[in-house]
Structure 1
Amino acid sequence: MALVWVALAAAICVPIAAAAVSPLLAWRDPVYILACFAGIVALGLMLVQPLLIAGYLPGLSAHRGRRTHLWIGGALVVAVVIHVGGLWITSPPDMIDALVFASPTPFSPWGVVAMWAIFAVAIFAALRRRLGIRPRTWRIAHTLLAIVIVVGSVVHGLLIEGTMETISKAVLCALVLAAAIKVMTDLQVWRKRAKLRGESIARQ
């Protein structure tokens, strides 16, 4: 049980520690550094989210795992806001170019798409009962948006040549992608939907 938590902590903390000693931080102002580390933390939280919702983390009940998933989701939104807000403060023209998909850097559009998908999940999660969204519809929508978030964030992170150390970054990105694929496969969201659709057609 302890080994799982130690491995998870290492997967998140090692990239943060490696980034902390990056020589590229020497001439950066505090706001930019905060924005960079908020982005790294956000990537680490993406590793935790699928593990929580699938119940893979030992010592957490299903109910507690879901509650923690909601809280971590909120922390993820805050981290993204700090990341984007800090970069906006340090270089508004670059952020405007990124948000309107006019940036020449190849990593920008991936990050922007992932950002909007994260905000969309948060908004739908907050309003889904008020909007009357059925649980199964929510799961399908959440899964689709999660795919966008994971793919966009991983590609965004891998394409950036900056504060994060290359190997630890690649390992974290691979773990985020692997965890998402594992959970989606185990929960069989698509198969359940197809099965229910087939049963509905058969009844008709």
Structure 2
Amino acid sequence: MTVLRALLVWSLLAGVMVVPVIVATGSEFLQYRSATYVVAGFAGVIALSILLLQPLLASGLLPGLPMSVGRRVHRWTGVALLLAIAVHVVGLWITSPPDMIDALTFTAPTAFSVFGVIAMWALIAAALLAGFRKKLRLRPQLWRLAHVTWASVVVVGSVAHAILIEGTMGTVSKILICAVLIAAMALTVHRLQPWIGVWRRGAANLRR
């Protein structure tokens, strides 16, 4: 029964991740577009799919995968996520530099651009926290709270960006993966409870 449950969860997860990519291949938005635009668009869709894995890997929510292994994979998929976002941003920059300048300077007239850039900078902040964890010498509780906070901003910003933009993903597949992503992040925060220990230490210092 446990094996069947694991297979079912992994199959559903794979479906949620792969379907938006498949739907995007037949998108009318890719017709008559340059190869650079197509690559940039697919990089954004793939990034959203990879993002879905991150909270599940970090919190040990995937059946059959120990949390210790999941967190090691989490680091590598984090690198893959950064690369996908880099391809997405660079590709769109090559396609239309003025639009990307407006987006990066928060002067774009479209809300999805703002949320996309916020998610990008939050992802960079979360990655820097992970990369310089030892050098920062933060207490584990404080580091976890900061990392989860930035990760939550990445998820919320990415979902808002995806929902608001009329891009290559289909409406149904887009809403589905975004809903599952929000649920995965909420379950992860509930399971990790990153605030535990942070406030206790602060209260203890105040009493001294």
Q: Report if TM-score (shorter chain) is over 0.5.
A: yes
The corresponding residue for 2:111 is: 106
> Structure 1 residue 141 and structure 2 residue 161: aligned?
no
Query: Paired residue for 1:131?
Result: 136
Could you tell me how far apart the structure 2 residues matched to 1:123 and 1:106 are?
A: 26
What is the alpha-carbon distance in structure 1 between the residues aligned to residue 141 and residue 158 of structure 2? 25
Number of residues paired by the alignment? 203
| Aligned counterpart for 1:41 among listed residues 39, 46, 70 | 46
Aligned to 2:17: 12
Change (3 A) 1:195 1:133: closer
Tell me how large the CA RMSD over aligned residues is.
Answer: 1.5
Contact 2:141 2:197 in 1 (8 A): no
Deviations 1:100-147 (A, max 9, x none): 011111210100010011111111211120222221111011011012
Aligned pairs for 1:1-204 (under 5 A) are 1-198=6-203, 200=204, 204=208
Structure 1 gaps, min length 5: none
Structure 1 equivalent of residue 3 of structure 2: none
* AA of the residue aligned to 2:78: G
Q: CA-to-partner distance for each residue in 1:7-40, whole Å, 9 max, x for gaps?
A: 1100010111011111221111111111111111
Percent of aligned pairs sharing the same letter? 49
TM-score, structure 2 normalization: 0.92
Gaps of 5+ in 2: 1-5
For residue 15 of structure 2, what is the amino acid of its counterpart? A
Q: Secondary structure at the match of 1:162?
A: coil
Rounded to whole Å, the distance in 2 between the matches of 1:193 and 1:6 is 37
